[in-house]
């Protein structure tokens, strides 16, 4: 087996993770680790899940597929004993219950540590293991709101918005997966496991430094027009076919190319950050983009340094040439769009070939 074949998508090959059934970010973190090569055993509850029926993932759905599924009643001695046997043979554990639930079941870190001192015990929650909100219910939108990130999307006359389950749950799962891998690396070298407190609010705070830097420089001062909300060169625009496109030409050379491609050659480049001139230019660009269908602007701007992308739905994203070339998605026979893989890994000696 050559180096590339050995690397193929499996840097965590040989790592065993037990995932106690949950919703949202916990199962996604399990999928992310599995995509990196880990072997994941899903301990499922008997009976229906916690979500409404029309939101309950299928047993063979993307978040569960490829995981070894074991149905156990953790409130019974036999089920609990079987679960502890799986824990004893695992490198990592994922659970997403409220603080104290696993302890009451006899499956908390204190019960698991004597059986497996190298265990990395991952706790995926919204609010964390402690703090005033630790025992409160919450969902994606609540966590994003509390961290200050949701307010960044608010514009005059428009409420704050965010894509459902992406910024909170999915970003939380990604940060939690990083924590699990970090714990696994530490356990491998030290022989000592740890508890990973994977609070979504903590992960979102980790994502905030870029925003904090911009805010400290005055980029989000109340009452001052913002590049991200008010400028003509960073916005989404409605086209003649009712579709939206986006431009984000912040850097002066990219801004110059955008104006040149749009035929706005009379605009003074050095006035890019003249906020008093923004409303007039934005009105011109709004009318210009509305004069042609989105396909026209895609042909003119996509792939250039004008910082352009059309706003696609999930089905369209699955067949976009760039995403197809990178092998990001597949469409099931039922028409569902699914992400195919996680990160790619390249052989160090052959940077041109992805594996």
- Average pLDDT value for residue range 188-201: 94
* Options 82, 139, 229, 296, the catalytic residue: 139
pLDDT tens-digit series, residues 314-329: 899 999 999 999 989 9
DSSP 3-23: HHHHHTT-TTTT-EEEEE--S
Query: Looking at residue 349, what is its pLDDT?
Result: 67
Judged against a pLDDT cut of 50, whether residue 7 lies above it is answered with no
Query: Looking at residue 6, what is its pLDDT?
Result: 40
Q: Is 166 exposed, middle or buried (0-12, 13-18, 19+ CB in 10 A)?
A: exposed
Query: Looking at residue 141, what is its pLDDT?
Result: 76
Considering the chain, tell me which residue range(s) the CATH 3.30.1540.10 domain(s) occupy: 234-310
- Average pLDDT value for residue range 171-180: 94
Query: Looking at residue 75, what is its pLDDT?
Result: 94
Cα–Cα dist 213/186, whole Å: 31
At 355, the pLDDT band (50, 70, 90 cuts) reads very low
Mean pLDDT of the chain: 88
pLDDT tens-digit series, residues 10-60: 899 999 999 999 888 999 999 999 999 999 999 998 977 665 555 566 767
15-42 residues labelled b (16+ CB within 10 A) or e (exposed): bbbbbbbbbbbbbbbbbbbbbbbbbbbb
Q: Which residues contact 50 (CB under 8 A, 6 or more apart)?
A: 23
DSSP 270-337: GGTT-GGGHHHHHHHHHHHHHTS-HHHHHHHHTTSTT-EEE---HHHHHH-HHHHHTT-EEE-TTS-E
**Cα 12 versus chain centre, distance:** 20
Collapse the DSSP code of 72 into the 3-class scheme (helix H, G, I; strand E, B; otherwise coil) and give the result: coil
Superfamily of domain 234-310: formyl-coa transferase, domain 3 (3.30.1540.10)
Percentage of the residues of the chain whose pLDDT score is greater than 70? 92
**Cα 165 versus chain centre, distance:** 8
pLDDT tens-digit series, residues 252-300: 999 999 999 999 999 999 999 999 999 999 999 999 999 999 999 999 9
* Options 91, 140, 169, 235, the catalytic residue: 169
Active site includes 77? no
At 351, the pLDDT band (50, 70, 90 cuts) reads very low
Beta strands in the chain (DSSP E): 16-20, 39-44, 68-71, 92-95, 120-125, 194-199, 234-238, 244-248, 308-310, 329-331, 337-339
Instruction: Let me know: does 237 contact 301? Beta carbons within 8 Å.
Output: no
pLDDT tens-digit series, residues 205-264: 999 988 888 888 888 887 788 898 899 999 999 999 999 999 999 999 999 999 999 999
Cα–Cα dist 157/138, whole Å: 27
Instruction: Let me know: does 339 contact 62? Beta carbons within 8 Å.
Output: yes
**Cα 251 versus chain centre, distance:** 26
Judged against a pLDDT cut of 90, whether residue 118 lies above it is answered with yes
Considering the chain, tell me which residue range(s) the CATH 3.40.50.10540 domain(s) occupy: 3-206
Domain 3-206 has CATH 3.40.50.2300: no
Active site includes 169? yes
């Amino acid at each position: 087996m050559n180096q590339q074949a050995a690397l193929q998508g499996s840097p965590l090959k040989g790592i065993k993770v037990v995932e106690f059934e949950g919703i949202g970010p916990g199962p996604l973190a399990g999928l992310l680790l599995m995509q990196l090569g880990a072997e994941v055993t899903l301990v499922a509850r008997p009976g229906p899940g916690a979500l409404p029926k029309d939101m309950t993932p299928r047993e063979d759905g993307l978040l569960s597929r490829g995981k070894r599924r074991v149905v156990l009643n953790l409130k019974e001695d036999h089920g609990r004993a079987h679960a502890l046997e799986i824990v004893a043979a695992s490198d990592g554990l994922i659970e997403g219950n409220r603080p104290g639930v696993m302890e009451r079941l006899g499956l908390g870190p204190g019960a698991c540590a004597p059986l497996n001192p190298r265990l990395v015990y991952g706790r995926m929650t919204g609010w964390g293991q402690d703090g005033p909100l630790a025992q409160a219910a919450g969902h994606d939108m609540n966590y994003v709101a509390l961290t200050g990130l949701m307010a960044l999307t608010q514009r005059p006359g428009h409420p704050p918005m965010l894509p459902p389950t992406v910024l909170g749950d999915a970003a939380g799962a990604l940060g939690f997966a990083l924590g699990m891998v970090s714990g696994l690396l530490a356990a491998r070298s030290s022989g000592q496991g740890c508890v990973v407190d994977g609070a979504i609010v903590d992960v979102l705070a980790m994502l905030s430094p870029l925003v904090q830097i911009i805010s400290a420089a005055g980029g989000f001062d109340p009452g001052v027009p913002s590049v991200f909300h008010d400028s003509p060169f960073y916005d989404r625009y409605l086209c003649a076919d009712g579709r939206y496109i986006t431009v984000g030409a912040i850097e002066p050379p990219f801004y110059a190319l955008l104006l040149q491609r749009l035929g706005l050659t009379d605009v003074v480049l050095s006035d890019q950050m003249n906020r008093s001139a923004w409303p007039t230019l934005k009105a011109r660009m709004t009318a210009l983009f509305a004069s042609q269908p989105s396909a026209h602007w895609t042909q003119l701007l996509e792939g250039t340094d004008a910082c352009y992308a059309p706003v696609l739905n999930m089905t369209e994203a699955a067949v976009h040439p760039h995403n197809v070339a990178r092998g990001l998605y597949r469409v099931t026979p039922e028409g569902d769009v699914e992400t195919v893989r996680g990160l790619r890994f390249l052989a160090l000696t052959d940077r041109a070939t992805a594996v």
